[in-house]
A and B are shown apart, each in its own frame.
Chain A
Amino acid sequence: MEQDSYGMVNIQVPAEHLIEAIQALKAYEKAPVQLLTDLCAVHYPDKAGKELEVVYHLHSLTQNLRLRLKVAIAQDAATVPTLCNEFAGANWMERETFDFYGVKFEGHPDLRRILNMDQMDYHPMLKQYALEDETRDDKDDQFFGR
């Protein structure tokens, strides 16, 4: 499925075909993709069965063409294959995405937290968790909207 947003091509890919799609884009002669610019996730708590979306920003340096690959997955089975074999730079970005959204990257060599402290027991960017620190006690809930 293709759609155009803000002048950039968006492609929805099912998780099981992700590696295939990336390999095909890397091998595509007219605009070979060489760079994984960014890898992140979005949480849509209202989209039943597709709560999480992993977004891959790809860049064809030779053609200066950018495109987005999106993989929608369910929150209770948030697993996508790792891109570490295709792009070495995916390693830390996948760790970050795991850290903040709890997405598991199957086949990742070292999938553990990277930015938050190791003892943290949840994934803070999921929308069911408050952004504010629960231990803060000098703010009056009435005025700070908690």
Chain B
Amino acid sequence: MFGKKVPLSGRNKQMVKIVDQPEGYEGQGFFATSLDKVIGMARANSLWPLPFATSCCGIEFMATMGSNYDLARFGSERLSFTPRQADLLMVMGTISKKMAPILKQVYDQMAEPKWVLSVGACACSGGIFDTYSVLQGIDRVIPVDVYVPGCPPRPEQIIEGVIKIQELAKNESLRRRNSDEYKRMLESYNIETK
């Protein structure tokens, strides 16, 4: 079932790649593994991104979602334009100081578990906009999991960032979001923990 290449029937005998099977015990009619691994695998391969695109990095993201690069190949077919149903917040572009509270509210509205991908120099550090009106990196208002540098980064780099997020999702312990360490981290950003 897992990890095997399934031959397609028909004229094009291409191979379809399927996600590797997690470690576990297998016998006739059963397969046993830890819940962490199964859930991690499921989460990692069905991340629903919320694109928060404000400028040129957003254009690169459109290319990433397009047929040439196709982020859907990595299980992120379904973009969520409501934070309530999103797992991955992709911030792409310059965030002005006036927009910072809105970005924070969007992050607040996302349900756990949630990840944040910061795409491009502006989202990571303010980029060339070293000025009074621009937030000098989104990590000043929300925690960031993966940074993608570039001005703007190419779609390959954005995909690389998403793959890194997938690795985080795959290897995260199920108790992490309940840990005191995680709560302290959120509190350091003045984000309310329930």
Contact = CB atoms under 8 A, between A and B. Distances in A.
Chain A's interface: helix, strand, loop or mixed, by majority?
loop
Interface string A76-94: 0000000000000000000
A129 B98 CA distance: 19
Contact residues on B (Cβ < 8 Å of other chain), bracket: 10 to 19
B23 interface: no
Contacts of B132: 116, 120, 124, 129-133
A30 interface: no
A7 B100 CA distance: 44
Interface residues of A, number: 16
Contacts of B96: 117
Interface stretch (B5-13, B59-67, B123-131): B123-131
B98 A136 contact: no
B133 interface: yes
Interface in B71-101: 96-98, 100
A138 B126 CA distance: 10
Interface of B: 96-98, 100, 125-126, 130-134, 136, 140
29 contacts: A115-B133, A116-B97, A116-B98, A116-B132, A116-B133, A117-B96, A117-B97, A117-B98, A120-B97, A120-B132, A124-B133, A130-B132, A131-B132, A132-B130, A132-B131, A132-B132, A133-B126, A133-B130, A133-B132, A133-B134, A133-B136, A135-B136, A135-B140, A136-B126, A136-B130, A137-B136, A138-B125, A139-B130, A144-B130
